[in-house]
């Protein structure tokens, strides 16, 4: 299935530069102004009477996707994002080994640029991350408490307790209390089983491993309704030796 797209051609660069979410029925220029028809109604574009990114009464967001793949055969750790822009954007990051996100509020303006460091690998399925800690095989279950042979003191209140059931990870609940031989959750999100391996995961955004990979894709999004410019997106990397 082919989805309809509205694309823009830039006369100065002689190329197709943008995709748009709105789909007009007809477009025309008249007296230096640009118009389009939607549902039989006439609309004027580039109007100052409505917020930017508003088409036919619907408010949209701006989205830009860039890929960093310098030295593609070398695995790297991606340390930060720098925006040459007049406003901060929210950024979702993904590599061949993990994912991450930077909120718009986490960018700091320095002169004419916005800087933010990349958060930790937020891919919760990556059990090699620092945020995942093995516990052991469950021995017995009483109410919302699971008994083990030994519980490491690295397990903390607020961690997420998980169990491998038939080779599939299942979330059991949030840790409410822990002793050297048991863990109590606030409430079971899924039924636990005796004899299966359990592990706990911490907030991967804070305590996960470095965001690393051969490449990184940055998906930027802005919900600004006034004038915004984005000139360049850059990152700093160091080679990963893990």
Is 65 within a domain? no
Pair (117, 159) in one structural domain = no
Is 156 within a domain? yes
Looking at residue 4, what is its pLDDT?
64
List pLDDT tens digits, range 13-43.
888 888 888 888 898 888 888 899 999 899 9
For residue 162, what is the enclosing H or E element? Answer: strand 160-165
Tell me the residue range of the domain where 163 lies: 136-202
Pair (146, 170) in one structural domain = yes
Is 111 within a domain? yes
Residues with Cβ within 8 Å of residue 205, at least 6 apart in sequence: 100, 101, 119, 120, 122
Is 1 within a domain? no
HSE-up of residue 141 (Cα within 13 Å, Cβ side)? 15
Q: How far apart are the first and last CA of the chain?
A: 42
- Number of domains comprising the chain: 3
Domain boundary among 39, 59, 79: 59
Q: Which residues of the chain have pLDDT under 70?
A: 1-4, 128-129, 242
Pair (224, 106) in one structural domain = yes
Contact 100, 121 (CB under 8 A): yes
Cα–Cα distance, 42 to 192 (Å, whole number):
60
Q: Read off the CATH number of the domain in which 179 is found.
A: 2.40.10
Is 84 within a domain? yes
For residue 187, what is the enclosing H or E element? Answer: none
Is 98 within a domain? yes
Pair (109, 10) in one structural domain = no
Pair (215, 105) in one structural domain = yes
How many residues are listed for the chain in this entry?
242
Looking at residue 2, what is its pLDDT?
44
Pair (180, 219) in one structural domain = no
Cα 123 from chain centroid (whole Å): 10
Residue with tokens 């903390």: 156
């Amino acid at each position: 299935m082919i989805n309809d797209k509205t694309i823009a051609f830039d006369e100065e660069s002689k190329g197709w530069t943008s995709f748009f979410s709105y789909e007009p029925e007809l477009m025309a220029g008249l007296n230096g102004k640009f118009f389009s028809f939607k549902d039989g109604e006439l609309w004027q574009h580039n109007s100052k009477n409505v917020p930017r990114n508003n088409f036919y009464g619907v408010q949209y967001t701006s989205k830009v996707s860039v890929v960093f793949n310098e030295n593609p055969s070398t695995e790297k750790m991606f340390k930060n994002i720098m925006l040459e822009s007049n406003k901060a954007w929210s950024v979702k990051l993904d590599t061949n080994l993990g994912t991450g996100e930077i909120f718009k509020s986490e960018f700091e303006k320095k002169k004419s640029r916005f800087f933010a460091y990349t958060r930790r690998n937020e891919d919760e399925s990556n059990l090699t991350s620092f945020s995942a800690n093995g516990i052991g095989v469950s021995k017995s279950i009483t109410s919302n408490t699971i008994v083990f042979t030994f519980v490491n003191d690295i397990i903390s209140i607020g961690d997420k307790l998980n169990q491998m059931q038939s080779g599939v990870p299942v979330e059991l609940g949030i840790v409410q209390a822990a002793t050297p031989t048991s863990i109590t959750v606030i409430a079971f999100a899924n039924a636990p089983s005796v004899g299966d391996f359990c592990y706990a995961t911490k907030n991967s955004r804070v305590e996960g491993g470095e965001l690393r990979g051969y490449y990184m894709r940055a998906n930027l999004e802005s919900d600004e309704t006034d004038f915004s410019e984005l000139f360049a997106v850059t990152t700093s990397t160091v080679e990963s030796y893990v």
